[in-house]
Structure 1
């Protein structure tokens, strides 16, 4: 339980799991007992293992178990459906208007810390950057070209709700590997990390985390942006140190298609 509290606590929410139902029950009991010593009472539970939600003599006095009326649970900007054990997104209707302030407000609502919808957020930020290039005031209506791009974007935004992402990582018969990529264009640069697993059904790659950055308004060369992408990738890998420890990952492979950036890194 201490490991979960130290590494899987987000503000006042604790996210954890187990390999077997017995592990879940043990973790639940340990969390209750450990937090009770500090005067903390757990008040909400959500799980894809329904028997865990059944009150027993110990938990009845200490935990208010969720009723299960709500099919999904909000977690880190996404929705988690315990029935299917998948993550999904809910795109709220954006405010009407074509001012820079409203565009920024809509982008701020796309909370995506793991980068599963990074291309969507990146495109929205590109539109926002154009408003800066045109020196548009906060409450001024954006130029028609930018306005048309934004209207097309928000019309397609509800399609995010169709995305379904499996929560568990696939099992592997060998050791896990991290396969990492970085790339760049004149608009910006990005990094993405995948978890590679092998089993009887074949090889699978699962997106673990991704990150994007806009290129500065001041023009930079593509090789310089490629190098920035490689740096972003190194920083992203560092954020997964706990995952590497938990899954005993020792093999990490990084790829970039820029020979110039590679030569700079080697020197």
Structure 2
């Protein structure tokens, strides 16, 4: 159970990823109780929680009953245990964040490669250790004249 006050604030601080709330719980009863109490706590501060997803599959129906104006969103083509949140995938059975990178087979111009690397949305810097060396290498290759120029 989530009491209003300091514990609810701690839960909100560690569970929100921009405007998506990701809370991993282990039991159906905990999901229903937590969802209802957490919605009430957020509502008391003026935040209307409208979308939910649970890592406890059998609790999904109970979430709608606990939070009457909420909707469960199934808008992407990911498996049911994966949810997209701001470009990052949350695999809720293991409580891990994942990234999906699409293949690229364009003409390797400087602009095309930089555009492709920039299209990898990483708002909290989880893949920066991989992306920054690539951007640096692209800059070096560009200075050496190894990459074609940009053409409009």
Q: CA deviation at 1:39?
A: 4.3
Q: CA deviation at 1:41?
A: 2.8
Taking the TM superposition and a 5 Å limit, the aligned residue runs for 1:148-167 are none
Could you say which structure has the higher strand fraction? 1
Q: CA deviation at 1:139?
A: 0.8
Taking the TM superposition and a 5 Å limit, the aligned residue runs for 1:173-212 are none
1-side partners of 2:14 and 2:88: how far apart?
Answer: 19
Structure 1 unaligned residues grouped into runs of 5+: 141-267
1:114 aligns with 2:126: yes
Q: Which residue of 1 aligns with 2:5?
A: none
1:42 aligns with 2:53: no
Structure 2 unaligned residues grouped into runs of 5+: 1-7
Contact preservation (8 Å) 2:51, 2:71 = yes
Deviations 1:192-238 (A, max 9, x none): xxxxxxxxxxxxxxxxxxxxxxxxxxxxxxxxxxxxxxxxxxxxxxx
- Counterpart secondary structure, 1:54: helix
Residue 92 of structure 1 is aligned with which of 92, 99, 102? 102
- Counterpart secondary structure, 2:89: strand
CA distance 1:30–1:138, shift in 2 (3 Å):
farther
1-side partners of 2:27 and 2:93: how far apart?
Answer: 17
- Counterpart secondary structure, 2:116: helix
Q: CA deviation at 1:88?
A: 3.4
Query: What RMSD in Å do the two structures reach over aligned CA positions?
Result: 3.3
Contact preservation (8 Å) 1:53, 1:66 = no
- Higher Rg: 1
Q: CA deviation at 1:22?
A: 4.0
Q: CA deviation at 1:128?
A: 1.1
Q: Which residue of 2 aligns with 1:139?
A: 150
Q: CA deviation at 1:102?
A: 1.2
1-side partners of 2:37 and 2:149: how far apart?
Answer: 51
Q: Which residue of 1 aligns with 2:21?
A: 14
Contact preservation (8 Å) 1:80, 1:86 = yes
CA distance 1:18–1:82, shift in 2 (3 Å):
closer
Q: CA deviation at 1:123?
A: 4.7
2-side partners of 1:49 and 1:19: how far apart?
Answer: 7
Contact preservation (8 Å) 1:32, 1:62 = no
2-side partners of 1:7 and 1:80: how far apart?
Answer: 15
1:29 aligns with 2:36: yes
